[in-house]
Amino acid sequence: MSQLLAQRARTQAAITDIAAAIRPGMLEEEALALASGMLAERDMRRGWHKINLRFGVNTTLHFHSPSQPGVVLGENDIFFIDIGPVFERWEGDGGDTFVVGQDAQRSRCARDARAVFHAARRRWLADGLNGQELYDFAAAEAARLGWVLNLQMNGHRISDFPHAAIFKGSLAQIDFTPTAGLWVLEIQIRHPSEPFGAFFEDILLDDSHFPVAG
């Protein structure tokens, strides 16, 4: 698991740096090209999945849905970054949401995506939830906070590349308790009526790996 944890740290650092370079007024397509270039500079050219970077209205879309073109990041707006680089032969995977400006609803949405992740993760730790139970809990927790959970973003195995050689299905499908360090919990929520959402994903791990857990 040490290799996966090392790749996790590299992936999270790359997400932080990409987010810091994104500014209001950018087109989503410009930000995507920026992210691609920054990953190439870090020798992260190869990814086991595409860069999934969404602005504004596109933050409600699931992974395989194409973005609405020409979306510009506003002064009070929301965006998320989801990358899956391969380092040597090990997979990284991470995603987080960022807010520019002072929009209270969008800020709460970003915080609550992390909060749902951590609430579900803690229930997995405490009660040994299987994958199906984990996403049932996450959906209920998102609803409790006033959001809708996107069940098409439903987690997966992670490993040396490719993880599909070990397990091709989703985390939400499994009827056993996922092992720490080997499964990615994906949380995507959206506003029930407004066109924005938020995304957070990370490996299922115990509290020691999350110094500031939401």
**Residue 61 falls inside a structural domain:** yes
**pLDDT the model gives residue 43:** 76
Token pair 């699931």 in the structure block, residue: 62
- Rg of the Cα atoms in the chain: 16
Q: Is 71 helix (H, G, I), strand (E, B) or coil?
A: coil
CATH code at position 172: 3.90.230.10
**Residue 114 falls inside a structural domain:** yes
Look up the domain containing 138 and give its range: 2-209
Which token pair is 176?
């056993």
**Residue 7 falls inside a structural domain:** yes
Pairwise pLDDT comparison (145 vs 50), residue with the higher score: 145
Q: Residue range 16-21: average pLDDT?
A: 97
The beta strand positions in the chain, using DSSP E, are 47-55, 77-87, 90-91, 94-100, 148-149, 156-157, 183-190, 197-203
Contacts 24+ apart (CB under 8 A), 131-136: 131/155, 131/170, 131/171, 131/172, 131/173, 131/174, 131/175, 131/176, 131/178, 131/183, 132/172, 132/173, 132/174, 132/175, 134/171, 134/172, 134/178, 134/185, 135/171, 135/172
**Residue 83 falls inside a structural domain:** yes
| pLDDT tens column, 47-90 | 657 899 999 999 999 888 999 999 999 999 999 999 988 877 77
Give the residue from 10, 140, 25 showing the smallest Cα distance to 79: 25
Give the residue from 146, 72, 83 showing the smallest Cα distance to 112: 146
**pLDDT the model gives residue 85:** 87
- Number of domains into which the chain is organized: 1
Residue 195: cis peptide before it, omega within 30 degrees of 0: no
Query: Is 96:80 a contact under the CB 8 Å cutoff?
Result: yes
| pLDDT tens column, 123-135 | 999 999 999 999 9
| The pLDDT of residue 3 is above 90 | no
**Residue 214 falls inside a structural domain:** no
Query: Is 201:62 a contact under the CB 8 Å cutoff?
Result: no
**pLDDT the model gives residue 164:** 56
DSSP-derived pairing of the beta strands 156-157 and 183-190 = antiparallel
What's CA 128's distance to the chain center, in Å?
Answer: 22
**Residue 25 falls inside a structural domain:** yes
